[in-house]
Structure 1
Amino acid sequence: MKNKHLFLFILLFVGLVFILSTTYTVLAEKDRRYYENTGEVVWEIDTKEKVVALTFDDGPHPKHTGEILDLLAKYNAKATFFVVGENIEKAPDILLRQYNEGHDIANHTYTHPIKTTIPKLEAELKKTNDLIYSITGHYPELFRPVEGQYTDEMIESVVKQGYKVVMWSWHLDTEDWKDPGVHRIVKTVLKGTEPGNVILFHDGGSNRSQTVKALEKILPELQKQGYKFVTITELLYMNNENEK
């Protein structure tokens, strides 16, 4: 009997940890299926074509983003960078390089606030928008919530501003911001990648040398498997074409 109670306790504890670890999915009353049907939020697309979207949050970083861009160029890969306004001001030349080399530039707020009000979020998005436009002559159309946390009110607000909200394939959060080790980052990606997936990396916020070293292994291996690396814009275009 004691063993049974212990098992139930462990089961409940694991369930609670899982719920807490996926907070962003329960802050909104409307579920993923609803937002995928409306097209307001994308996690990945359903396709048999071997394409995958590499996404990078929290940059640009003066050193590591440049290293990542060198690797992407080497393997003819395109990516999507969710940039933070404060970091743009520290590395405007890197942002311009990202744009000139054909990568998607997307909004990831100005100060990377974990929690904020809708009016403050709107102000942050506008400030970062204006910065991006002042450097590239282009306004971003994609937005990723900080830490993937969103509410229905947030989605409604950013969609009204013309954004598509971009998340990532749940099993392809590399958690590289935790510095889990190059091997673990590589294993997460190579073990889990399927056509149409969106992979989450970070190029800013801290030392991203593990991410760079992991990409040195990931890019050639996925390319060897026949994958093409596309931007979120390209992925969404393919999805729209598939639905016709």
Structure 2
Amino acid sequence: MISVARSVTAACALGAALAACGTAGTPDGARPAHARPAASPSATRTPVLTPGPGHLTPVFEHGPRTLGKTVALTFDADMTAGQGPRAATGEHFDNPGLIGTLRTLKVPATIFMTGRWAEEYPAQARSLGHDPQFEVANHSYSHYAFTDDCYGLPTIGADRMKSDVERAYAAIRKAGVPNPLPYFRFPGGCYDHQALRALSGIGVTAVQWDVVSGDAFATDADAVARQVLDGVKPGSVVIMHCTRSAAPTTERVVRTIVPELRKQGYRFVKVSDLIGETNGQGGNRPGSLTPG
């Protein structure tokens, strides 16, 4: 029987309706041989989880704990439809310094991008989409919540959820990302049975996390770094953000945690690598909907 839960974490504790929660070739190894084709939105061969009964959208939270010390850093590139005027007056919803640091440190990463962010920063979206160090996935069009009571975010009705995800893919492709992956991260991390059912048939795997960095609106980089280092386990997925206005300490956090995790023997991979390794193991059985 499928256990259905809503994943609500402090990672996206926004507090205000329009304050977004933030805002890959693999250097560490080839894609697993058992990776299966994505059902749709990506044209490349990408590992996905098997849908649950009734084609219910599956949820991925972390990779296997027993297949080596791997960890995936993920970054949400958030922007809402109403934040265009704020960007026009100089507020930064991008973070090119962070991306540059990841490149310098040779850390592969998965970027969950809203369609609105891709429209605002098409050159950066295109650069990420063509860089084999990164993979780009879907974070909705405008960061509207898919459930009620999700950190004050405005919500989207069930009848518009599928079209919202499709609109985001269209915007991301139009910005120049050729193959956005069939992975979707719910805004705020909030989902329920209705949301998972609404997205069934699109062919996406919903990607959550098991390590909350706490970088959203944080001012103490050392505290965020400690939280990440204390939480990481083999196969972990870490949620962070790549927007300067909402997560100003993240680049400093990355500069701290990357050498320390490497010292501990961890290897950085992308979400696609962890999903490929999972293949139905651990807490990510097809259709398993336990919270992160």
TM category (shorter chain) comes to 0.7 to 0.9
Match in the other structure for 2:122: 92
Q: Normalization by structure 1: what TM-score?
A: 0.78
Q: What SS does the aligned partner of 1:55 have?
A: strand
Query: How big is each residue's C-alpha offset from its partner over 1:207-231, in whole Å with a ceiling of 9 and x where there is no partner?
Result: 4321111111111111222211111
CA distance in 2, matches of 1:153, 1:63: 30
Shift of 1:157: 2.3
Q: Does 1:58 align with 2:77?
A: yes
Q: Which runs of 5+ in 1 are unaligned?
A: 1-18, 24-34
Q: Normalization by structure 2: what TM-score?
A: 0.66
Shift of 1:78: 0.8
Shift of 1:180: 4.7
Match in the other structure for 2:163: 123
Q: What SS does the aligned partner of 1:136 have?
A: coil
Of Structure 1 and Structure 2, which has the larger fraction of its residues in helix? 1
**Counterpart pick for 2:172 among 124, 132, 151:** 132
Single out whichever of 142-151 and 118-127 deviates more from structure 2: 118-127
Shift of 1:58: 2.9
CA distance in 2, matches of 1:47, 1:20: 21
Q: What SS does the aligned partner of 2:239 have?
A: strand
The one-letter code of the counterpart of 2:141 is Y
Match in the other structure for 1:193: 232
Shift of 1:83: 0.6
After TM superposition, the structure 1 = structure 2 runs for residues 1-244 of structure 1, keeping only pairs within 5 Å, are 38=52, 40-48=58-66, 49-59=68-78, 64-102=94-132, 103-114=134-145, 115-134=155-174, 135-169=176-210, 172-204=211-243, 206-240=245-279
CA distance in 2, matches of 1:146, 1:108: 6
Superposed CA RMSD in Å reads 2.8
Q: Which runs of 5+ in 2 are unaligned?
A: 1-5, 11-48, 80-90, 146-154, 283-292
Match in the other structure for 2:35: none
Paired positions, count: 212
| Higher normalized contact order (CA 8 Å, seq sep 6+, divided by chain length) | 2
Single out whichever of 200-209 and 178-187 deviates more from structure 2: 200-209
Conserved 8 A contact 1:168-1:200 = yes
Shift of 1:90: 1.1
Query: How big is each residue's C-alpha offset from its partner over 1:178-237, in whole Å with a ceiling of 9 and x where there is no partner?
Result: 315101110001111111000010112724321111111111111222211111111111
Shift of 1:108: 0.7
Q: What SS does the aligned partner of 1:82 have?
A: strand
Q: What SS does the aligned partner of 1:226 have?
A: coil
The one-letter code of the counterpart of 2:208 is M
Conserved 8 A contact 2:93-2:244 = no
Q: What SS does the aligned partner of 1:72 have?
A: helix
Shift of 1:168: 0.4
User: Which one has a bigger Cα radius of gyration?
Assistant: 1
Query: How big is each residue's C-alpha offset from its partner over 1:96-145, in whole Å with a ceiling of 9 and x where there is no partner?
Result: 12122221211111111132112222222111101222212224300011
